[in-house]
Structure 1
């Protein structure tokens, strides 16, 4: 297979090797950092395919610079970093990597639930700084998890995996979405509207894509509906939460705490968030296991290879850009 491909940042194998073994000319920057805007515009020129990351803003200007590009393969499940409409209008296929990171992100969601409820990070710091005064019946009391109510906003793959884990904690499970999901119903979860979920849940976990409708879905109004003993967990996309409103809610103890893996202006945090002792803050680790990142690398490469071979990619985001096989077989 002939063609020139850009991978916008060094990624784990086996994706790059799969592309090279297919005969493609693969360019990967030597530095492990996001390309600047100017570097991205320059690097996409003359490429038949681009394998990008969620930190790359692939908009109309970039797509125009990549004239002749056939496919943009995003190594992420979310694709809000890509102007899909602009790609579709130019006949460029867009793909993502759903499924590959479901289990690792669900595991991390549970790590945040347990860490923020049981004050794990605070306890670790207390031990490391020599401030542990010894056991006491009132020392560092946290929140219960077992038997509580878990509310899942956005009933997709990851939310379902989180819900399945909640069964072992004997939790009542609520979920909010546009329609019933039989997989949730099968484990005893109950479909409710968002306001009811916010009011009844002890843990509110966010699992929605970032769209115009979900931007600041959790704002001051939504936070005010939560129990003062409740915790907010976000492993979806940062702008789903109004971070300044969250800081105010944490500072005033309007809610008990938050566990965050994503941020509204990533990698920066809203002023005051770092000082919130009732927040557990992780640096976007949802898919950060060796096995998961390798699977994502493979999946993105396979999508790109399918597109360049004239086949419909398995994880096509914009099917309206697909006009049928380009080559026999």
Structure 2
């Protein structure tokens, strides 16, 4: 007996229904903005809107080159670095691999936007999630570019460079070790753990191009979402609140930690911004520098896109608490107090 099953494949010559996707919506919005640009310019000519737009553009312009760097490195890893090489380089013991991955973060001179796609690609190549996450946190915070910019921003306080390095490296390693203990694989989206299988006989450069293109399109959308949220919060938070914290160290540490999350500054530029807040003691400003590259709004958005919202909702609070504690301890040990 032959069983006949129905198929949903469209017949030849039958037009397929056009699906409305995000690209079509974006094109429609751009065309509408061009058509009604005069009306939009008059309606949005408000100081708060101009400030928010400036912050949004600044965040995206600062982050995009490093995001592109990250997806290029991600594509190179996917195309040219076999999983067996990574497994040989890193120690088999996961806790030891976390320490090595944290120190390896010094080799990638980029911001947090670059480290997210690279960390995901490391997981897809078989690297333990805890080690990949330690690299994700260390790369934007302990690389030479960030340390040099910190030294230039604080010319009279060389201890700030050492304190930032120790606090940020400790944050990356401690979070990695905690993830070994309490982290669960099911918290990470399956797409972030799916091993890469290169097609037999396929071009490695084709794999590189497709991987980089996919990562850039996916991560770029979440960067825009995070930048938009940060721009809105930049307008909402009054600058007078920061200047009122001059003589309150404990409250200053907490507020500056939250501001680091809200402002979402690039790790190469945050030292110059916080150095201008000379009324604040060094300890709250150090906490700002340690927390910012580890967890901020745009980074949480990127992590949600790369590893899933379930992961981001657990990883961000854990990282925030560890970064605040490590920043305070590094400040007390290196800076010699709460000055």
TM-score of the superposition, structure 1-length normalised? 0.22
Higher strand share: 1
Higher helix share: 2
